[in-house]
Structure 1
Amino acid sequence: MTIKRRTLLKGAGAGIAMAMIGRPASAQTITLRMSNYLPPMHGFTADFMKPFAAELESRTNGAVKAEIFDATTAFGKTERQADQVRAGVIDIALGLNGIPRDRFPASSIIEMPFLVENAGSGSKALWTLYKEGALGTEYDDFHVLGLMTHHGGLIHTVSKPVRTLQDLAGLRLRTPSPAVSAMLEAAGASPVGMPPAAIYENLQKGALDGVVTTWDLVGAIKINELIKYHTDARAYVAGFHILMNKKSYEGLPADVKTVFDDMTGDNLVAKMGGWWDKWDQRGREDAIARGNEIIELDETARNQWRAELEPMINSYLDGLTKLGVEDPQKLYARAQELVAQFDAA
């Protein structure tokens, strides 16, 4: 929160009609800082943060503006997004739940293999778990604006095609989270954690054999130039958080809070499926244009992978107990119910 914003909070704003704030010409501006860890061409900035900032400014009649910081800035470190919000250095951040590891262990339940295929269902399921209190206290330090997943992700490799689970053995693959790492280790692969900004260089110099990620990221960071094979297993997802500093939110005038509440929560989470449709399409089309091979796993193959990974799922759930998650098996069962419910809707 900037000094200008603190000044405004001492003299609260005017009335509100249909969530549009009337603002005296002399009023000073609230300036919010928003960050994420991906490059500016990624949809996180282009389709979420920039339109969000513009809508917020419009609906508050210019009373609220936002500065946006992405991976090209000092605020764009993947592992620092939540910490920056908690410290008040950043007001709002979009981060990856799995980095740093074990920060949001209960939320990782949504990342179990073959649980989620669709970002819309996965995001709504994760958000519902949060609203039900099933994720415990791991977000107590924040005002949570939304939680989400991407569509079922892919395995992208440079020189070795992955057609079976056994083909993963021996590959060094970038991983987005501990849950995905556990899946890769169970298949004999070596998971390597690193931020998106480091992926291209490590693929180029041979430190990685591939990357476990979505279509949108391979397009956004241009690694389709290096990748030759894309295995569309839809075997996993990663979880994301959109968090706001508690004091930043609580210090807002009541009318600005009303606008915020309308733009976030259920209404924000409902947009996730459509966004990932758009973002993934760009990466896929780029891979096709380059002549890369897309390996589609049929349901028989996916069922076989799922059965082979069952011991890994049970082991991972047992490990969550040590991280303070209450009854992980019950949480997993509830996540399965919710995903099935939203898939059928």
Structure 2
Amino acid sequence: MRKLKLLPISLALAAIIGFTGCSQSNDATSEGADETTTLRFAHFWPATAATHTEIFEPWARKVEEESGGRLKVEIYPSATLSKPDATYDATAKGIVDIGSQLQGYTNGRFPLTQVTELPGLSNSATQMNCMLQTLYDDGVISSEYEDTHLLFMMGTGPGGMHTIDRAIRTPDDLKGLRMRRPSAIAGDIIEAAGGTPVGLPATDIYTSLQRGVLDGLSLPWDAVGSFRLIELTNTHTNIPFYSSAIMVTMNKDKYESLPTDLKKVIDDNSGKMMGAIAGKVFDAEDDKFMAEAQAKGDTMIDIPDPLNDPQWRGPLEAGTQKYLKDIEALGLDAQTVYQKAQEASAACKS
């Protein structure tokens, strides 16, 4: 009789234990689902730049909203978390979770991607962004980013030349000038024209101009405005002889550690859609800052088609061929990538 009485009690205890275990398991699952993952995003633009306020901040808010608050993006502008030329490596190593950097800041690291920077391939940021993302999606340049999870490509509008009281109308006008170059490609062209290219981060240009270390610089208008260089320069040559490629990428392990639904949030805010948004922002900034310089009374020199200009064609072609030969020397198929870039350029022309 005693054993028969104990049986229901044992079953009841087992049921209680089982219910408690299930409850704890459900709580744990719920707790995991409510957990917040913080993503640290590093870049070199000032916090006042449109790249930060109109591209990166809205992107971060959208990711946070669509994740229901389970993803939080902390943005670190002005190279506060990683150096401008080391952000990609910092992302690959997990020092930061997301990073944005110009490929041209690490010479030789992204040689195939930088083919898109050559003269004649892009006349707007929108076209440049479309061309970059197309080449990445088609697998033409994707091998250069295998150690990270690429989110999206960006690109600037055409870069011109900006000086203080030095008019650059022909290549001869560059002779003897120390010009800050944004990449090896732009540097090759400046050198072919007789100038002296100087490599330094965009964050150092302002003080270098003030101290007379530089005579001028080569940058797209959006960067000239973002880094307050309009305050110092007063003579501008609008010549589309290069564009700059930019990437936004994520640490691969961090991406893979996310649950499927949060990966989807990241994926839904990646690729060509983001490149198109960025292109519109860069193009609008180019127009805005050019107008600001004109309103200030600065001198404007326009060379809209340098590849067909008898004085500029030579240096531009020389710089292009030098870069392609340098890539071929690395055992890479430069001509095929150049051809694919030309095809993507034509397809992306706005």
The TM-score with structure 1 as length reference comes to 0.88
In the alignment, what sits opposite 1:16? none
1:106 shift after superposition: 0.8
In the alignment, what sits opposite 1:62? 69
In the alignment, what sits opposite 1:17? none
In the alignment, what sits opposite 2:176? 170
Q: Is the Cα–Cα contact under 8 Å of residues 96 and 238 in structure 1 kept in the other structure? A: yes
| Separation in structure 2 between the aligned mates of residue 137 and residue 51 of structure 1, nearest angstrom | 29
The structure with the largest helix share of the pair is: 2
Between structure 1 and structure 2, the one with the greater Rg is 2
Q: Work out whether 1:225 is the aligned partner of 2:231.
A: yes
- How much is the aligned-residue C-alpha RMSD, in angstroms? 1.9
1:118 shift after superposition: 1.4
1:233 shift after superposition: 0.7
1:107 shift after superposition: 0.7
| Separation in structure 2 between the aligned mates of residue 135 and residue 50 of structure 1, nearest angstrom | 27
The TM-score with structure 2 as length reference comes to 0.87
In the alignment, what sits opposite 1:134? 140
Q: Is the Cα–Cα contact under 8 Å of residues 98 and 108 in structure 1 kept in the other structure? A: yes
Deviation larger for 136-145 or 296-305: 296-305
Give the SS at the match of 1:309: helix
| Separation in structure 2 between the aligned mates of residue 300 and residue 200 of structure 1, nearest angstrom | 28
In the alignment, what sits opposite 2:250? 244
2:40 to 30, 33, 48: 33
2:166 to 133, 139, 160: 160
| Separation in structure 2 between the aligned mates of residue 124 and residue 206 of structure 1, nearest angstrom | 38
| Separation in structure 2 between the aligned mates of residue 172 and residue 199 of structure 1, nearest angstrom | 12
Q: Which runs of 5+ in 2 are unaligned?
A: 1-27
C-alpha distance 45-300 of structure 1, shift in aligned 2 (>3 A): closer
1:134-154 Cα shifts (integer Å, max 9, x gaps): 126211101111122211111
In the alignment, what sits opposite 2:209? 203
Give the SS at the match of 2:113: helix
1:269 to 271, 275, 286: 275
C-alpha distance 12-248 of structure 1, shift in aligned 2 (>3 A): farther
Identity of aligned residues (%): 35
C-alpha distance 291-246 of structure 1, shift in aligned 2 (>3 A): same
| Separation in structure 2 between the aligned mates of residue 315 and residue 72 of structure 1, nearest angstrom | 32
1:158 shift after superposition: 1.0
Give the SS at the match of 2:41: strand
Q: Which runs of 5+ in 1 are unaligned?
A: 1-10, 14-23
Give the SS at the match of 1:192: strand
1:117 shift after superposition: 1.0
User: Which letter does structure 1 place at the counterpart of 2:340?
Assistant: R
Q: Is the Cα–Cα contact under 8 Å of residues 159 and 241 in structure 2 kept in the other structure? A: yes
1:125 to 131, 143, 164: 131
1:283-321 Cα shifts (integer Å, max 9, x gaps): 213212321111112447853323442233122101112
1:176 shift after superposition: 0.9
C-alpha distance 308-192 of structure 1, shift in aligned 2 (>3 A): closer
Give the SS at the match of 2:143: coil
1:121-168 Cα shifts (integer Å, max 9, x gaps): 111111111222212621110111112221111110112111112222
| Separation in structure 2 between the aligned mates of residue 26 and residue 60 of structure 1, nearest angstrom | 11
